[in-house]
Chains A and B, each alone.
Chain A
Amino acid sequence: MDTRINSKALKRFTEVADSVVNPEITKWKNEGGKILGYFCSYMPEELATAAEFLPVRLRATGSSGTEFSDSFLSNLNCSYPRNAFNMALQGEYDFIDGLIAFNSCDHIRRVYDYWKREVKTPFIKILSLPKKAEAAQVEWFRSELVDLTKGLEEHFGVTISDDDLRAAIRIHNETRRLLTELYELRKADNPVITGAEVLAVTVASTAMPKSIYNELLKELLEDLKQAEGINDHRARLMIIGPEMDDPEYIRAIEDQGCLVVADSLCYGSRLFWGEVKEDIADPYTALAQYYIADRPSSPGVYTEYESRAQFIRNMIDEYNVDGAILARLTFCETWAFEQYSMVQDFEEWNIPLLSIDREYMLSGVGQLRTRVQAFLETMEN
């Protein structure tokens, strides 16, 4: 299932989502720009933008396997870090000048340890991510961001002023507003864009300079005004889960005749929901408040389950969702226990939920199709 429009902007986003290095990154690098790679949606990209660096979230798109990282990580580890670290060991991330990691899960914590030992990235730092979202945690995260700024200033010889940061917040908020507009279009009875295409758009936001990205997104929104709505779908689905950056995965689902109209993914709505408050005087507090307390949390913020469930429930209602797929990565315990509670909630809500365990790299498409088909059939009966 594809949109019936021919949008150059959409093609650009799809190309960016299709590979780790895109022409914007190459151009940035050739012009002497610095690139800050990061794991985890909790990275306030605004800090990189304020330093005039390009923030790039690390994916493992196009990974050829895990033969190198298998010497370090084990087959009990999540396939996303295994593939990403494999690429790093092969030098595919040599273009980044700095790496920011978070103690976001047991697996990423160890990737950070090995990265420090095995990969020669000039600047590496880990930030301590709170596991709950109260005032003390906002304050804690603020202090982590201040420490990161100091580290960047010292290492790269740059200055990040509060005004730089405020300007960066404004640019990133514009991205958020534009993405919200895009998501609004999905509420229509016959949405003009597919779930796979939307994922390409959101993924691209993590690998392009925001000024260019915002212009392209405006272009796409214009193009979509002319687009014909999609009306041949059997059901409207929501996708829930952790790392999912491959639009092909959603395409395989949508090819079964459904349309993905909403998500709670860390490359989807949870990436950009809401805005950083521009009226808070201290920009660090504003960032910490947004990332820790205001934006829908990831399950790593364990105490916030109820608000996550509420966020999903609201989306189901607003986007008129018929059923949901929770796609967890095998060996991810954070999402294993989240899934356990979600299954109970979906039962209570009387909304069909399909739980799938998957690997980071798209494999077993046949099995995925069969399960989605069966799921759609049970929904129709």
Chain B
Amino acid sequence: MNAKQEKSLSRIKEELELFDPIIPLLEMDPSPASALQVPILKNLCTQHRRTIECVETGEPFIGSTYTNPAEILTAMDVHWYFPIQQMFSGPAGEGTSHAAEDLEGLDKMALPGDSCTFMRLELYYQSQGLMPIPTAYLALTEPCDATAGVHAALMHHPDWRDTPCFAPDPPYHNNDKAIDYYAGEMRRMVDFISKHTGKTLDMNRLKEVVEETNKCYTMWMEYNEIRRSTPTPHSYIMPMSCFFQTNTAGAGGNPEITNWYEKMVADAERRVTENDPEVPNQKIRLLWYDIQPFYFGEIAPWLEQEWGAVIAMDMVSYCPYELIDTSTEDNIFRGLAKRSYQHGPMVHQARGSMDNVMTDITRIVKDYNMDCVIFPGHMGHKDMAASASLMAEVCRNLGVPFLHIGLDQADRRYTPVDEIKNKLSNFFTAMGLG
């Protein structure tokens, strides 16, 4: 390994050093919450080790992004990592030494500050050589201009310019023509992966993997149903993990992950049946309608403890995943296409028309018996900012209070946590909640 490769792994190695010792401690803790955390951390550590191994040995591996089908990569037995993973050792891993350092480094870059900080950080990590350069890269051109733009910039970096890149092109429409087109993109993606890794796709293996992820999605949807209960069974930490469990490396099609979902559903069911919610004295049920800020660890527990306010549903969890029909090859690719370009968080809400925003908020408020809707309003979400007035209108019609905060999910300096808490407190008080 040369010095560049060594540096590109440094954050991953730091994260391993952080998580590795925690796993045995959690394993000793008899609480159900700890038992549920263990597989998540184990999976993360295994993936990091695989990335290190690939860089060290020269084994082909892929850089990919969050809506590209984990099923295809798993079935082709190709290792991959998310370049944005670095954030979880940086600003996302609040408390690590890098949070402030990375944001200050970012300030010095020639990047307009009004564009999504999350994506700008990705370029910062690249500029610092903190991302392992993959054999090939699967980019993403949805759900927003920032995601698409960052991939173009990423691939232009001198160190990455020779890395082959495939960017599936998500259409705007949801009709059959569009699904067929995107299914074609998925097939072209398979060809691309084969060409650059030498791995081939066995359709029987893909079917098997999809059937396994179908089980995960079934469990996840069941879990969402249980969250309708009052009081809601879990603190917010648990549901936050669902999406990443189906989409990260090592998770798609892994029976251990299915098992994790089953345990989580069982624990939620038990808590509902025995009236044993993780958060006692629940007073406010709220819908958090945006992604979670990196520093949510300071907000979600505060909401629960200070106000008895639980996030009974959130935007990332409320996605219309459908099970994929595995009866034919065509159906599998069409199903993966829909899952990939229509269903994932942000993609579902931001890529197409804003009708999904209206219908989702309406259904969630009614089905989950919400007391209020919070729109954090990440500064990168230009389409969501443009939808805020409509969200407010929908909430007015439903007779449910609505708060638009305005924050930066990656940079707490934009709206300090205390200010966010003040806004929330004032809102709860003014609306007579809590």
Contacts and interface: CB of A to CB of B under 8 A. Distances in A.
Contacts of A337: 111, 115, 119, 123, 146, 149-150, 152-153
Contact of B156 (A140, A300, A341): A341
A251 to B, nearest CB: 25
B185 A136 contact: yes
A74 to B, nearest CB: 4
Interface in B49-103: none
B172 interface: yes
Interface residues of B, number: 50
Contacts of A112: 353
Contacts of A73: 385-386, 389
Contact of A106 (B153, B350, B355, B388): B350
Given A76-B379, A106-B382, A337-B150, A131 B145 contact: no
B408 to A, nearest CB: 11
Interface string B306-317: 000000000000
A106 B386 contact: yes
B187 to A, nearest CB: 10
A113 B110 CA distance: 33
B396 interface: no
A63 interface: no
B280 interface: no
Nearest 5 CB-CB pairings of A with B: A337-B149, A110-B386, A128-B172, A336-B115, A74-B385
A330 B386 contact: no
Given A76-B382, A107-B383, A131-B167, A340 B145 contact: no
Contacts of B148: 131, 300, 302, 334
Interface string A295-310: 0000110110110000
Given A130-B171, A337-B150, A357-B112, 16 more contacts: A106-B145, A110-B383, A110-B386, A113-B355, A126-B172, A127-B172, A130-B169, A136-B184, A136-B188, A140-B169, A300-B148, A302-B149, A336-B111, A337-B123, A338-B149, A344-B156
Contacts of A303: 139, 141, 152, 165, 167
B144 A106 contact: yes
B166 to A, nearest CB: 9
A341 B172 CA distance: 26
Interface in B143-176: 144-146, 148-153, 155-156, 165, 167, 169-173
A341 B155 CA distance: 10
A59 to B, nearest CB: 20
Contacts of A300: 145, 148
Nearest to B379: A76
Nearest to A104: B145
A62 B392 CA distance: 31
A66 interface: no
Which of B139, B149, B386 has its CB near the most chain A CB atoms (within 10 A)?
B386
B395 interface: no
B272 interface: no
A34 to B, nearest CB: 25
Nearest to B112: A336
A131 B178 CA distance: 14
Nearest to B158: A344
B428 interface: no
Interface in A100-144: 103, 105-107, 109-114, 126-132, 136-137, 140, 143
A121 B116 CA distance: 33
Interface in A62-88: 71-74, 76-78
Contacts of B353: 109, 112-113
B243 interface: no
A333 B382 contact: yes
Contact of B151 (A78, A302, A334, A336): A302
A62 B388 CA distance: 27
A337 B154 CA distance: 9
Contacts of A137: 169
Interface string B105-130: 00001111011100100010000000
B114 A128 contact: no
Given A132-B141, A136-B181, A136-B185, A355 B386 contact: no
A368 interface: no
A128 B177 CA distance: 12
B389 A72 contact: yes
B181 A77 contact: no
Nearest to A72: B389
Nearest to B167: A303
A343 B114 contact: no
A131 B145 CA distance: 10
5 contacts: A128-B173, A140-B169, A143-B177, A299-B152, A333-B115
Contacts of B119: 333, 337
A328 interface: yes
A110 B350 CA distance: 10
Nearest to A105: B145
A107 B115 contact: no
B386 A74 contact: yes
Contacts of A126: 172
Interface in B263-294: none
Nearest to A77: B386
A103 B167 CA distance: 17
Interface string B231-265: 00000000000000000000000000000000000
A131 B169 contact: yes
A214 interface: no
Contacts of A74: 385-386, 388-389
A74 B145 CA distance: 17
Nearest to A339: B112
Contact of A328 (B112, B167, B177, B355): B112
Nearest to A113: B354
A135 to B, nearest CB: 10
A249 interface: no
A331 interface: yes
Contacts of B150: 337
Interface in A42-67: none
Contacts of B352: 103, 109
B156 A306 contact: yes
A348 B219 CA distance: 53
Contacts of B355: 113
Interface in B173-207: 173, 177-178, 181, 184-185, 188
A107 B355 CA distance: 15
B387 interface: yes
Which of A113, A143, A355 has its CB near the most chain B CB atoms (within 10 A)?
A113
Contacts of B188: 136
A308 to B, nearest CB: 9
Contacts of B173: 128
Contact of B149 (A299, A306, A343): A299
A350 to B, nearest CB: 16
